[in-house]
Amino acid sequence: MQISRRSALATGAAAITTAAVTAPLAVKAALGDEIPTVDPVLAVEQKWRAFHEYIRNYPDESDAARAPLYDRLTDMEIKIYETPATTPAGIAVKLRLWSGYYGPFYGRSFEEPWWRGDRATMGMADTGFACVMCDLERLAGGLPS
């Protein structure tokens, strides 16, 4: 049986149309009614940042007043870690939070990413982390904030 050019083009067009219609339906079926456009980790991080700022401006500086606030902040950090990331930006958020506790510049502001600094002054572990963070930032289209 010989296939004409016309039937090949018609069959190919039909296959492409079918794929274009069914692929989004398959994605929708896999993800539910709404296809997420924002990584859920970013939403939790926004709440964490707002609460972190609230603590920074809290008028009572006593340990007794701040301890429950920091406990709540810690709970939010655990939520960030436990929320499944769906994008490189979500992974970058988790690593950035982790680096605030375990990075070479403990306690430094998130607005000053140490991993963009001079790698000649970093040890091997910090250099590796810095390279991963820079790659994630690039894949995410910038530092999530």
Element (H, E) at 36: none
Tell me if residue 131 falls in helix, strand or coil.
Answer: helix
Q: What are the residue boundaries of the structural domains of the chain, listed by start?
A: 1-35, 40-140
- Flag the least confident range among 56-60, 79-83, 91-95, 104-108: 104-108
Chain segment 9-26, per-residue pLDDT in tens: 555 544 444 444 444 445
60-to-48, 49, 52, 54, 63 alpha-carbon distances in Å: 20, 19, 15, 12, 9
* Cβ–Cβ under 8 Å, residues 39 and 90: yes
Give the separation between CA 21 and CA 58, rounded to whole angstroms: 53
Q: Which two tokens stand for residue 47?
A: 């709440």
Amino acid at 134: C
Of 74 and 127, more confident: 74
Query: What is the per-residue pLDDT for 130?
Result: 79
The one-letter amino acid at 54: Y
Confidence of residue 51 (pLDDT cuts 50, 70, 90): very high
Give pLDDT, residue 24.
47
The Cα–Cα gap between 71 and 67 comes to 6
